[in-house]
Amino acid sequence: MDGFINFLLGVGLVVVIFLAITYVLYTIGLVMVLRRLNHFKWYAFLPFFSYYALIIATGAPKRWFYLSLVPYAGAVYAGSAAIRLGRIFDRGTAFSLFWLTVASPIGLIMIGRQTTPINQAALEETVGLFDIKAIKRSRKNKSAETPQAD
């Protein structure tokens, strides 16, 4: 029985260390992103204010932060905020939905280290929750920019 308890304590310690490393990476990436957006860099170190700062920095309505805390509906608002953040850094919807939500510690560092300028037009436009037209426009603009082989 003592061996099983020691095993559980060991697994618990590994999980706590993993979560601590993940939180540090998330904070570093968020500081890099907020620095690029010229917003509340020190908010990145406070657990709930870090996500609030990210929502405000993307220009999304403040209510998105509160609505993202609601179970089930929160995933929709978090996904919409991630798509908006990805659009500001000229990233696609698939990148945003995976790297800025599920794998956010790595994704935030990826866009924080990006050297290309941010998309100021995307930062200043007002976007609704399900702005399908804006996503289609961004796809058309990207396909128009790429030369097609004959």
pLDDT of residue 14: 96
User: 5-50 pLDDT, tens per residue?
Assistant: 999 999 999 999 999 999 999 999 999 999 998 887 888 888 888 8
User: 103-135 pLDDT, tens per residue?
Assistant: 989 999 999 998 888 888 887 776 666 665 665
Q: What is the spatial distance between Cα 125 and Cα 48, in angstroms, rounded to a whole number?
A: 25
* Domain extent listing, the chain: 2-144
Q: What is the spatial distance between Cα 61 and Cα 56, in angstroms, rounded to a whole number?
A: 7
Q: How confident is the model at residue 79 (pLDDT cuts 50, 70, 90)?
A: confident
Going by the DSSP 8-state scheme, the letter that residue 125 receives in this structure is S
